[in-house]
Amino acid sequence: MAYFILKRLIQSVFVMLAVAFLAFSLFRFVGDPISQMTGVETSVEDQERLRDELGLNDPFVYQFARFTGDLLQGDFGFSYRTRQPVAEMIATRIPATLELGVVALIISLVVGIPTGVYTALRPRGIATQAILMTTLVGVSIPTFVIGIMLIFIFGVQLGWLPTFGRGGTVQIGGWESSLFTIEGWRALLLPAITLGVYQLTLTMRLVRAEMMEVMRSDYIRFGMARGVPMRRLHYKHALANTMVPVITIIGLQFGGVIAFSIVTESVFQWPGMGLLFLESIRFVDIPVMGVYLVVIAFFFVLVNLIVDLLYVAIDPRLRVSDVT
Amino acid sequence: MTRLNLRNTALAAGTLMLCASNVSAETLRWASTTDPQTMDPHAVNSAPVLSFLNNIYEGLVRRGQDMSIEPSLAASWEPLAGENGWRFNLREGVTFQDGSAFTAEDVMFSYERASNEAADVRSWFAPVSEVRVVDDFTIDFVTSAPNPLFPDSIANFMILDKDWAEGNDAALPARDAENFATMNVNGTGPFTLASRDPGVKTTLVPHEGWWDDATHNVTEAVFTPIGNAATGLAALLSGEIDFIQPIPLQDVAQVEGRDGFKVLEGEETRVIMFGFGHEHDALLYSTDVTDANPFADPRVRLAAAHAIDIASINRVLFRGKIAPASQLVPAGISGFSEANTGRPDYNPDRAKELLAEAGYPDGFSFGLKCPNDRYINDEALCRAAASMFAAVGLNAELSTGPVRDYWPQLREDDFDMYLLGWSPGTFDMEHPIRFLMHSQDDEKKLGSWNFGNYSNARVDELLPMIQQEIDPAKRQMLVDEVVAITQEEVAYIPLYTQPLIWAAKDNVDLTQRADNFFMLRWVTVN
Amino acid sequence: MIAFLKRYEGLWLFVHSPAAMIAALVAALILIGAVFAPWIALVNPYDLASFSLFDGLLPPAWEDGANPKYLLGTDDQGRDMISSILYGARLSLVIGIAALTIAAVLGVGLGLAAGYYGGRFDAIIMRIADVQLALPAILTALLIDGIARGILPAAIQQDLRVAVLTLAIALSLWVNFARTARASTFVQMKKEYVQAAIMMGQRPSRVMFVHILPNILGPLLVIMTVDLASAILLEATLSFLGIGLPADSPSLGTLIRIGMQFLLSGEWWILWIPTLFLVALVVSINILGDFLRDVFNPRLR
């Protein structure tokens, strides 16, 4: 097991390097940082000097080597836009994104798994049809439209919830959390629902499909025939068997949640990494974009590792093939 | 945390006590689309930064509510005797926010800092040949040629405290790393920084020792950038913010229709125009005319101008809120040519005739480049224009993109026709003549935004004459000549002046200045 | 014979499922509208001379101030809404189906192979998948767009935006297929029938596509139906973030993105009619997907 984890960690470093390389190779297509850093009256000559100072005239490979070299030494560089240290900028934004993502994921699981089971067990019920229809409509409207609609209904018309930002936050160590105040939760609710609605639908449909499949399998039928209580069959045997693909998707979901939080954060002015990333794209802030992507890659690698370990824990049959 | 400015904590605490004891304490919460990138007034020459920092720092001169130049840190100024340049008599008894006194040394230091290679605002001082401290409260700016507009051109030149900057290793603006002045301030202005969380929230509190009489009643001002227009509007309507600049113009009716809110409408000084690739030998994006550049012919450019139905653009895209433009500055800006206020009317038949005369009876196709995140409704405008051009046979292949990608394309000459908006930084006609109409000249740093390189020898000759002419009447005649020439040759197609639309709660009184700067010192919360 | 019976049986199921029939009707109508848009639509949104700003912002025919010529009104450019939507559905479907096909072929192929061969091959595929996942769709789109801009001549770049966008969407969707196919393949690999097939010396491709694939289609079909919707929505989202199609190529997503500006301005039809249309389309696709899954997977009945 230790060997397996070590091997995966080594692979992970390569994943992150590859992401950094890909990211770097595309930065020059995003636009010209210099024209975003200087005013209209700045002369072409001054712009060129700045370009030189920032090393933007160096060959691409050299720029990439410098970036990774600095990164390995713990030097994350300075933002072109704000001139601040990138490490600090990203670090202060991570809590907002993670809290949003985790709460969205929890909402999607807490609602998605029970409704999935319910709709699998009563496939012809009216409630089932209503749930399936509602969630379908929910995922058919683009996230940004849903977000703005929620803002106008609950923020403007009803006035129940804030329309933007994180509300009240509490500093715990270096972690700025909105989970410990009422205001924080009020601010978190709409963005988390917006972010979670797609994942919720996917979870529900997946649990439903797997569950229906398992319910038809021989051993469940056999169990029924033997008179094993239905509750026990449904929740102990059937649900447990749906978990391998569900965990795969949930692992993927967390990636999707983080990636899609870009849109949600932009709609709710949620001060997370996604919003920072969007601003950085606008200003072609290469150091921030680079570090953001490496950090995101790190999260993915971590989540994937956990998912793979969970596989092994849940389904011992997978152990042999994955370890060897 | 570096995000909280500890130096100002004492001041902020004082304000908090004031809040507790004084019921009329007023917090103003406002939002705009872009966060100021830095708190350093010399590091970036961009409107969000200069607008924000004008509340904290001050220049020798400042602009009033009507944009007129008035005394600020300089109590008065007069031309130098015997040489070109200006003498500024500084105000006495002014203190910085940390309590130190303001003297000519601070002006000298700030000049050196702002004109250094590391500063982005150094172009303002291109005419300056020497600066001399005469005494503690007198300083001379010597210019290489007569420069009647110099005092007007440095309203955003903000003065830092020499000892504070040097003592905190911020003697030069930060280029590729931060320094103390990136996150901290020490100006002479009416407000100072209480806390800053870049991109999230910035809080200002009044500078109690400000030299001028405070006419505002704000005790705390909280700024939040909100990038998404609909979210910003929602924040205003839900009461979470008191004021926002700008709002989309299609939402004006919605805000006005609600109790407790008002819309402030004005005209920005920015004129939106189409430019041409004058010097290209051939069109880059044409499928039918690949060996010539029809836009080199003024008749074709005039045809394009006649194809534009500005009235429909105004009615449908801008809800009747734009003023059609005849030249590159709006009326009211100094140097505006009253003698040349006509613009080509909407006349598709005339456009077709002109195209036929120029040898293109069936029109031709070409590439039109536009930004999609720079000006109000820029993309919609270009789509509408492309449709109007198509109606007379000018088949525009429209390509739109974000400015981060757009300016480089213009710099690389990658267009047949393009959209540009120009706001005269000095609020004088000389500015667009220098940047947009003079031939490109890298050495003299002229025509640097004249992407299509429109070139007319007489215009080039007139620019230095305009810059040096002291007599306003003679100067206006020179400007009129430039405007007449460029209109005659259709150097650009000026379209309209961009509207300026802010929204606020009814109980907030504020002043909308034409440069889109928001000044807290003119705010009253009732 | 079995295939015939299946089809026959499917038909029988179909007429007994009102939801599926309505969905099929809606989808068919939209599909016909999309395919025949050039003949049905009043104006061609790609022909700039065929509409005029002068007719802009007209409401649907039943509201005051409408022009009966434009049944569902016009947008801010004076384009007939019906025409825009028909052409928009056409473009969205082309992008969605093409992207999904690329993603499914790529993802299922790689996922099956990874699950079948395991070991180093699996590790490499999955790490590539990790790299892909770690690049948000917005960046994949930027990357593809950037490369296209780097290697293609300027004049045809605008015309290739659709292809570029399709590829970008496909690349951000294939991982879902690959990882799900891989996980399910692992489970199948342990089953006796697969082991038996391998022991009988059947070719790996045969084992993968004939034996394993049909047995893992269930979860894949779920992903496919949800992902066709995602592909169409992703296109809308990318255009919201500013890297989608240009505004003069009206996909449904672009129409909604443009309509967002009119959320509060009173011109509700510019946003809500395309949104309604998109919802109808996506919901129908999903219902049909569910139905087809039931038909092709009799064990679920």
The string of pLDDT tens digits covering residues B463-477 is 999 999 989 999 999
Q: Which two tokens stand for residue A136?
A: 């379908």
A120 in the same domain as A47? no
Higher pLDDT, B281 or A227: B281
Angle ∠(B515,B517,B520) on CA atoms, nearest 5? 150
Which CATH number do you get for residue C154?
1.10.3720.10
Q: Which residues of A touch C154 (CB under 8 A)?
A: none
Higher pLDDT, B176 or C202: C202
B212 pLDDT tier (thresholds 50, 70, 90)? very high
Q: Which residues of C touch B395 (CB under 8 A)?
A: 48
A282 in the same domain as A141? yes
* Candidate from B19-28, B492-501, C170-179 with smallest mean pLDDT: B19-28
Q: What is the pLDDT of residues C11-20, one digit of tens each?
A: 767 777 787 8
Query: Ranked by mean pLDDT, which of A25-34, B186-195, C128-137 comes out on top?
Result: B186-195
pLDDT for A228 equals: 72
Q: Which two tokens stand for residue B252?
A: 């004006």
Is C195 part of the contact surface with chain B (CB cutoff 8 Å)?
no
**Averaged over C112-136, what is the pLDDT?**
85
Report the C-alpha gap between C256 and C264 in whole angstroms.
14
**Averaged over A95-109, what is the pLDDT?**
91
A12 in the same domain as A157? no
Lay out the sheet containing B85-90: strands in order across: B74-79, B85-90, B138-143, B128-135
**Averaged over A58-76, what is the pLDDT?**
86
**Which one of B45, B225, B228 has the shortest CB-CB distance to A41?**
B45
Q: What burial letters (b/e) apply to A177-193, b meaning 16+ CB within 10 Å?
A: bbeeeeebbbbbbbbbb
B264 pLDDT tier (thresholds 50, 70, 90)? very high
Residue A219 has pLDDT above 80, yes or no: no
pLDDT for C297 equals: 60
Task: List the one residue out of B141, B119, B110, B109 whose CA is nearest residue B128.
Answer: B141
Report the C-alpha gap between B483 and A170 in whole angstroms.
60
Q: What is the pLDDT of residues C42-101, one digit of tens each?
A: 888 888 888 888 888 888 888 888 888 888 888 888 889 999 999 998 998 899 899 999
Query: Ranked by mean pLDDT, which of A22-36, B174-188, B334-348, C270-284 comes out on top?
Result: B334-348
Distance from CA of C136 to the nearest CA of A (A): 5
A94 in the same domain as A47? no
CB contact under 8 A, C229 and A11: no
Report the C-alpha gap between B376 and B318 in whole angstroms.
9
Q: Which residue of C has its CA nearest to B283?
A: C155
Strand B243-245, strand B218-225: pairing? unpaired
Q: Which residues of A touch B195 (CB under 8 A)?
A: none
Residue A304 has pLDDT above 80, yes or no: no
Residues facing residue C74 across a β-bridge: C80
Q: Which residues of A touch B403 (CB under 8 A)?
A: 31, 35-36
Domain that holds residue A24: 2-72
**Averaged over C266-273, what is the pLDDT?**
89
Q: Where are the beta strands (DSSP E) in B91-245?
A: 128-135, 138-143, 191-197, 201-206, 218-225, 243-245
pLDDT for B4 equals: 39
Interface test with B, best of A52, A160, A163, A278 (most B CBs within 10 A): A163
Report the C-alpha gap between B320 and B326 in whole angstroms.
17
pLDDT for A309 equals: 77
pLDDT for B150 equals: 93
B76 pLDDT tier (thresholds 50, 70, 90)? very high
Q: Report the domain count for chain C.
A: 1
A237 in the same domain as A183? yes
CB contact under 8 A, C154 and B285: yes
Instruction: Please give the interface size between A and C, counted as residue pairs whose CB atoms are below 8 Å apart.
Output: 160
Q: Report the domain count for chain A.
A: 2
A322 pLDDT tier (thresholds 50, 70, 90)? very low
Instruction: Please give the interface size between B and C, counted as residue pairs whose CB atoms are below 8 Å apart.
Output: 83
pLDDT for C3 equals: 55
Is A30 part of the contact surface with chain C (CB cutoff 8 Å)?
yes
What Cα–Cα distance (Å) separates residue B323 from each residue in B105, B488, B489? 45, 21, 22
pLDDT for B8 equals: 42
* Candidate from A186-200, B430-444, C130-144 with smallest mean pLDDT: C130-144
Task: List the one residue out of A179, A160, A195, A154 whose CA is nearest residue A96.
Answer: A179
Report the C-alpha gap between B232 and B240 in whole angstroms.
10
Domain that holds residue C142: 2-300
**Which one of A137, A245, A249 has the shortest CB-CB distance to C279?**
A137
Residue B501 has pLDDT above 50, yes or no: yes
A183 in the same domain as A276? yes
A95 in the same domain as A65? no
Distance from CA of A72 to the nearest CA of C (A): 19
pLDDT for A216 equals: 74
What's the 3-state SS for B444-488? CCECCCCCCCCCCHHHHHHHHHHHHCCCHHHHHHHHHHHHHHHHH
Cβ contacts of B52-55, under 8 Å, gap ≥ 24:
B52/B202, B52/B223, B53/B158, B53/B185, B53/B187, B54/B156, B54/B158, B54/B189, B54/B517, B54/B519, B55/B189, B55/B190, B55/B191, B55/B204, B55/B221, B55/B519, B55/B520, B55/B521
Task: List the one residue out of C16, C135, B57 whose CA is nearest residue A262.
Answer: C135
Higher pLDDT, C153 or A273: A273
Q: Please give the model's pTM, rounded to 2 decimal places.
A: 0.87
A198 pLDDT tier (thresholds 50, 70, 90)? confident
**Which one of C19, C123, C241 has the shortest CB-CB distance to A11?**
C123
A140 in the same domain as A229? yes
pLDDT for B23 equals: 40
Higher pLDDT, C226 or C205: C205
Is C255 part of the contact surface with chain A (CB cutoff 8 Å)?
no
pLDDT for B138 equals: 96
Higher pLDDT, B26 or B437: B437
- Measured in whole angstroms, how far is the alpha carbon of residue B31 from the centre of its chain? 19
Q: Is residue A63 part of a domain?
A: yes
Report DSSP letters for B78-129, one per residue: EEPSSSSEEEEEEPSS-B-TTSPBP-HHHHHHHHHHHTSTT-TTGGGGTTEE
C300 pLDDT tier (thresholds 50, 70, 90)? very low
Strand B138-143, strand A170-172: pairing? unpaired
The chains found to touch C (3+ Cβ pairs under 8 angstroms) are A, B
Q: With H, G, I as helix, E, B as strand and everything else as coil, classify residue B337.
A: coil
Q: Which residue of A has its CA nearest to C129?
A: A15
**Averaged over B259-265, what is the pLDDT?**
94
Q: Which residues of B touch A264 (CB under 8 A)?
A: none
Distance from CA of C11 to the nearest CA of A (A): 19
Report the C-alpha gap between B419 and B275 in whole angstroms.
6
Residue A245 has pLDDT above 80, yes or no: no
CB atoms within 10 A of CB B92: 12
* Contacts for B356 with CB less than 8 Å, ≥ 6 apart: none
Distance from CA of B504 to the nearest CA of A (A): 15
Residue C276 has pLDDT above 50, yes or no: yes
Angle subtended by helix axes C137-151 and A2-30, to nearest 10: 50
* Candidate from B137-151, B192-206, C150-164 with smallest mean pLDDT: C150-164
CB atoms within 10 A of CB C184: 24
Task: List the one residue out of B117, B523, B367, B9 whose CA is nearest residue C246.
Answer: B367
Distance from CA of C291 to the nearest CA of A (A): 12
Cis check: omega of the bond before C45, within 30 degrees of 0: no
Report DSSP letters for B38-79, one per residue: -S-TTT---HHHHHHHTTT---SEEE-TTS-EEESSEEEEEE
Q: What are phi and psi of A262, to 5 degrees?
A: -55, -50
Q: What is the pLDDT of residues B325-383, one digit of tens each?
A: 999 999 989 999 999 999 999 999 999 999 999 999 999 999 999 998 889 999 999 99
pLDDT for B18 equals: 39
pLDDT for B14 equals: 40
CB contact under 8 A, C51 and B384: no
> To the nearest whole number, what is the mean pLDDT of chain B?
91
CB contact under 8 A, A279 and B227: yes
Residue C266 has pLDDT above 50, yes or no: yes
A139 in the same domain as A53? no
**Averaged over A103-114, what is the pLDDT?**
90
Task: Say which residue the tokens 């051009």 belong to.
Answer: B389
pLDDT for B20 equals: 39
- Measured in whole angstroms, how far is the alpha carbon of residue B165 from the centre of its chain? 27
**Which one of C51, C76, C264 has the shortest CB-CB distance to B380?**
C76
A111 in the same domain as A25? no
User: Last residue of some domain: A48, A72, A96?
Assistant: A72
Identify the burial level of B472 via C-beta atoms within 10 angstroms of its C-beta, where 0-12 means exposed, 13-18 middle and 19 or more buried: exposed
Q: Is residue A255 part of a domain?
A: yes
CB contact under 8 A, B404 and A32: yes
* Under 8 Å between Cβ of A47 and A38: yes
The chains found to touch A (3+ Cβ pairs under 8 angstroms) are B, C
Q: Which residue of C has its CA nearest to A264?
A: C237
Dihedral (Cα; A42, A44, A49, A51), 10-degree rounding: 90
Q: Which two tokens stand for residue A268?
A: 């709710």
Helices (H) and strands (E) in chain B, counts: 16, 19
Report the C-alpha gap between C53 and B387 in whole angstroms.
8
Q: Is residue A53 part of a domain?
A: yes
What Cα–Cα distance (Å) separates residue C53 from each residue in B356, B384, C78? 25, 6, 5
A180 in the same domain as A232? yes
A172 in the same domain as A61? no
Which CATH number do you get for residue A178?
1.10.3720.10
CB contact under 8 A, C49 and B250: no
Q: Which two tokens stand for residue B68?
A: 């007129």
Q: Which two tokens stand for residue A7?
A: 């091997």
Residue A292 has pLDDT above 80, yes or no: yes
Residue B7 has pLDDT above 50, yes or no: no
